[in-house]
Amino acid sequence: MRRNDNFLKEVGSKLKAIRKSKGVSVRLLGSMCNLDFSNLSRFENGQKDMRISTLKLIADKLEVDVKEFI
């Protein structure tokens, strides 16, 4: 496993935990951000990289600072 893979898994895990703590389903968050829920699920599982602008959008929709994911 590469270092980048570990980073993606860590960010994804934090995203998933925050999303769940807010009581938001992956489908709802995908809809709120105009993202396909399957891509969002892959982000959360560290299987897909995302742009920082996408992470910022997600943070805004979840009403948290983007630093919470890093």
In a domain, 54, yes or no: yes
Give me the domain span that covers residue 55. Answer: 3-62
pLDDT at 3: 64
In a domain, 68, yes or no: no
pLDDT band at 70 (very low <50, low <70, confident <90, very high): confident
pLDDT at 2: 64
CA dist 42 to 31, 35, 64, Å? 15, 12, 21
In total, how many domains does the chain have?
1
Give pLDDT tens digits for 10-60: 999 999 999 999 999 999 999 999 999 999 999 999 999 999 999 999 999
Joined tokens for residue 5: 């893979």
What is the CATH classification number for the domain harbouring 13?
1.10.260.40
DSSP code, position 64: S
In a domain, 8, yes or no: yes
Does residue 1 register a pLDDT over 90?
no
**Cβ distance 24 to 62 under 8 Å?**
yes
In a domain, 15, yes or no: yes
In a domain, 67, yes or no: no
Closest by Cα among 55, 50, 48 to 33 = 55
Residue 58 contacts by C-beta under 8 Å, 6 or more apart in sequence? 15, 29, 33, 40
